[in-house]
Amino acid sequence: MKCPHCDQENTLVGANCVHCGKPMTPSSATSQPTQASSSVTTIIPYTNPSALIGYYLGVFSCFPLLGLPLAIGELILGFMGLQKALRQPESKGKVHAIVALATGSIGLSINLLVCTGMLFA
């Protein structure tokens, strides 16, 4: 049986690996990271990067001028993320995508107002 920690073959099947001394049971080695990652993906949609990037672009899209390309990118990413979230519900990020679309449209309108204001000023 191979050790899940150091990949060394263990002829004696015991509770701990003879090479690295860590527990040999694969369940204890794998259950913890999967539990942690599943709880993390609920908060941070790793599997839906477009939704996540779009969501974080929303923070910066409120800045005038700099926010204009960000708001456009945010709308595209939010749309892509929402489509992915609807196709694959397990990928999550639906809320992030909706937030990205909402803040993207707000950011875009603010920036368009600022730009037109500057043109006419």
Interface residues with Zn ion (CB under 5 A)? 3, 5-6, 17, 19-20
To Zn ion, the closest distance from the beta carbon of 24 in angstroms equals 8
To Zn ion, the closest distance from the beta carbon of 21 in angstroms equals 7
State which residue, 6 or 66, has the beta carbon closest to Zn ion.
Answer: 6
State which residue, 25 or 116, has the beta carbon closest to Zn ion.
Answer: 25
State which residue, 19 or 40, has the beta carbon closest to Zn ion.
Answer: 19
To Zn ion, the closest distance from the beta carbon of 1 in angstroms equals 10
Q: Could you give the CA distance from residue 4 to residue 84 in angstroms, rounded to a whole number?
A: 34
State which residue, 6 or 118, has the beta carbon closest to Zn ion.
Answer: 6
To Zn ion, the closest distance from the beta carbon of 3 in angstroms equals 3
